Amino acid sequence: MYTDYFGLSESPFTITPDPRYLFMSGRHQEALAHLLYGLKEGGGFVQLTGEVGTGKTTLTRAVLDQLPENVDVALIFNPRLTAFEFLAAACDELHVPYRRGTQSIKELIDALNAYLLTAHANGRRVVLIVDEAQNFQIEVLEQIRLLTNLETTKQKLLQIILVGQPELREMLARPELRQLAQRITARYHLVPMTLAETQAYIQHRLKVAGASIQPFTVGAMKRVWRFAGGVPRLVNILCDRALLGAYARDKKQITASMVNEAIAELGFEAPKKKLDPSRWTIGAAVAASLVLSTLAWFQSQSTVSVHDLAANAIEPAAALSAPATAPPGAPLSREPITSTETAAQSARAAEGSEPAPESASNDSALADAIAAAETEEPIQVDAALAQEFTAESLRQLVWNTPAAAELDQAFGYLFARWGLEYASLAGITGCERAIGARLHCHWASGSWQEFVQLNRPALIWFEHPDDGTKRYAIVHGMDGDGVQLRTGEHTVRVPESVMEQVWTGSFLVLWRPPALDVRLIKPGDRGELVIWLRRNLERLDGKQTANAHPEIFDRELKERVLAFQRARELNADGLVGEKTLIHLTSLTNSDDVPLLLTDD
């Protein structure tokens, strides 16, 4: 209806997956690389999860487009199947002959195994893609696992991609599915687009549809992103309605207020103007922007392989089971053992060279840093650089730091603050190695004051204005108005006023959750995590209340959480997400947690 009015050849925001409109955001590219890396390993499972509308189908199609000619693919989209029906559907997709009318699972497996052996002998690979996997029955998922037992003495005959909503991760954490979870060689959780990606997405779709002008103002696109949360499907629905509304009002430009009207027409409440996305603690937009910054960092290097992109995704390929000491009162994690170390070894062999972290571990400065951290000796400021830094002189020091292996060296310093030897931990990336010590990486953004309030040593990075290359440093500690900064092999003391001038707003901290897989504790939850939360809040405010059901996250506990969040100037929503958990563990486990500022 509005296409001629805006000079478009067709509607640009339909929700059908037209390949001409394919837009690969930073995290879509990263997820694609992660999946292709998992497929390259051969055998086992690859897992892709994400909220509804985040582009899982788009990624699946992109994977199919990049598979080589010698790969046969079967796609199963119907989750309402029995184990027998699933096997029959797989055989039908691959054109595997079997006796019609049979009710024998064994016959189907034998037919499928014969097909796979023939394909292998002919140099072909077989990939099975299972969509909506979170809706499959447990016995069907177990039957899917058994399919990976079809193998030769050297290689699995079938590669399986499980695609599903976040509930799939919860399902695979169940004890009865631990054998399946252990066989996942790569996993990725797709998060929504950032504001910049949403703007590029809108412009891309309009351009494909033939637009010669941009009808959406910057404010309108921001309002679309805020409402849609970066979810492509919601972006499409809202943009389509906004274009229709502009056409009905004879307007060529779509403003933020017009987007609000479109939201109301869709039956939703328009977002409040005072909402500040930069202060979200759990919002998907923040997480997405942090993933993008990580991807941009890999793309800035001279050579980036699919393995590099995949291995350095924010969510680790798999979780290790070697637990370190948990915080007092923390429940034991039931995270299943998985094959990260095996995958890492295979990846290294495939690349044909030893990874940088091993060589970086021999650096004498790093060894000294680890020794100092383990013995709790005060770090020594580099005497040759004992000066009053200006913002410019600090930048010169950072950019004179050699780039080789610097990220691994920086991670080594950060791990040393936890008394850990980085090189001895299994994994490819810093965040994968953290899992082995029951730690998580928390990528965040915020002002210098917000960072200081978080009170954790952090990895930060500087981006060169000319070529976008990165240099890394560790904010090691603070004393008075000075900040201890480690960059390369130098440890310097920088005035806090100078750090505020050079502060980029992005940083990474390590933190230890009460259980390895916990990211959120919310009202209505029950169990040991809720008891842990209640006890630690009671320790902080010194007030114990009689409660018949301390294991339930009830109204009284929510009020305590809200009071804690307000006192720490956090987003007071009553949800205990990563940021709230980090603040809480900093205050209640000071003997176990390295802090930026101490009470000494």
Q: pLDDT tens digit string along 453-487?
A: 888 899 998 877 666 667 888 998 888 778 988 88
Residue 339 confidence (pLDDT):
32
Contacts 24+ apart (CB under 8 A), 270-278: 270/227, 271/223, 271/226, 271/227, 275/226, 277/195, 277/226, 278/445, 278/446
Q: What is the predicted pLDDT for the residue at 269?
A: 52
Which superfamily does 528-588 belong to? PGBD-like superfamily/PGBD (1.10.101.10)
Q: What are phi and psi of 123, to 5 degrees?
A: 75, 25
Residue 255: what pLDDT? 94
Q: Identify the weakest region by mean pLDDT among 170-174, 499-503, 510-514, 551-555.
A: 170-174
Instruction: Let me know how long the chain is.
Output: 600
Q: How far apart, in whole angstroms, are the C-alpha atoms of residue 117 and residue 101? A: 24
CB of 11 within 8 A of CB of 39? no
The Cα–Cα gap between 8 and 243 comes to 11
Question: pLDDT class for 433, splitting at 50, 70, 90?
Answer: confident
Looking at residue 401, what is its pLDDT?
A: 67
pLDDT at residue number 599: 54
CA distances from residue 212 to 6, 9, 204, 209, 554 in whole angstroms, order as listed: 9, 11, 12, 9, 55
State how far the Cα of 219 lies from the Cα of 197, in Å rounded to an integer. Answer: 15
How far is it, in rounded angstroms, from Cα 178 to Cα 35? 21
CA separation for the pair 294, 506 (Å, rounded): 10
- What DSSP string describes 111-173? HHHHHHHHHHHTT-EEEEEE-SGGGS-HHHHHHHHHHTT-B-SS-BS-EEEEEE-THHHHHHT
- CATH 3.40.250.10 given to domain 26-190: no
Q: What is the pLDDT of residues 335-345, one digit of tens each?
A: 332 333 333 33
pLDDT band at 1 (very low <50, low <70, confident <90, very high): confident
The pLDDT value given to residue 402: 62
- Please give the Cα distance from 323 to 514 (Å, whole number): 12
Q: Where are the domains of the chain?
A: 26-190, 193-275, 300-511, 528-588
Task: Give the Cα separation of 22 and 61 in Å (integer).
Answer: 10
Check if the beta carbon of residue 160 is closer than 8 Å to that of residue 147. yes
Q: How confident is the model at residue 220 (pLDDT cuts 50, 70, 90)?
A: very high
pLDDT attached to residue 443:
77
| C-alpha–C-alpha distance, residues 597 and 458, integer Å | 12
Q: What is the pLDDT of residue 361?
A: 34
Q: What is the pLDDT of residue 205?
A: 93
% of the chain residues with pLDDT over 90: 16
The runs of H, that is alpha helices, within 400-522 are: 406-416, 430-436, 448-454, 496-502
Distances (CA, A) of 404 to 354, 399, 413, 422, 518: 14, 12, 15, 17, 35
Of residues 417, 453, 451, the one with CA closest to residue 434: 417
- Whole-number pLDDT of residue 219: 92
**At what angle are helices 578-588 and 528-541 packed, to 10 degrees?**
50
How many C-beta atoms surround the C-beta of residue 251 within 10 A? 13
Q: What is the per-residue DSSP string for 229-278?
A: TT-HHHHHHHHHHHHHHHHHTT-SSB-HHHHHHHHHHTT-PPPPTT--GG
| Exposed/middle/buried for residue 453 (C-beta within 10 Å: 0-12, 13-18, 19+) | middle
User: Count of CB atoms within 10 A of residue 30's CB?
Assistant: 24
Output 166 or 307, whichever has higher pLDDT.
166
Cα–Cα distance measured from residue 78 to residue 131, given in angstroms and rounded to the nearest whole number: 8
Within this chain, domains 26-190 and 528-588 share the same CATH topology: no
Question: What is the overall mean pLDDT for the chain?
Answer: 75
More confident residue, 356 or 572: 572
Q: If you search the block for the tokens 């991609």, which residue do you land on?
A: 161
Q: What is the pLDDT of residues 92-110, one digit of tens each?
A: 999 999 988 888 999 999 9
CB within 8 A of 319, min separation 6: which ones?
335, 336, 338, 340, 435, 516, 517
Per-residue pLDDT, 24: 78
Instruction: Give the Cβ contact number of residue 141 at 10 Å.
Output: 23
Residue 351, number of CB atoms within 10 A of its CB: 13
DSSP conformation class of 378 = P
Which residue, 317, 301, 268, is CA-closest to 406? 301
What is the greatest pairwise CA distance in the chain? 84
Q: Is the pLDDT of residue 505 over 60?
A: yes
Rg of the chain, C-alpha, whole Å: 26
> Are residues 236 and 14 in contact, defined by beta-carbon separation less than 8 angstroms?
yes
Amino acid sitting at position 158: L
Please determine, for residue 274, whether its predicted confidence score (pLDDT) is greater than 50.
no
d(CA 327, CA 532): 10
pLDDT digit string (tens) for 294-345? 434 334 433 333 333 333 333 322 222 222 333 323 332 323 323 333 333 3
Cα separation of the two ends of the chain = 69
Strand order in the sheet with 470-479: 440-445, 506-511, 458-463, 470-479, 482-487, 490-495
Q: What pLDDT sits at residue 591?
A: 59
- As a whole number of angstroms, the distance between CA 384 and CA 571 comes to 43
Domain 193-275: which topology? Helicase, Ruva Protein; domain 3 (1.10.8)
Residue 72: is its pLDDT beyond 70? yes
What's the whole-model pTM score?
0.45
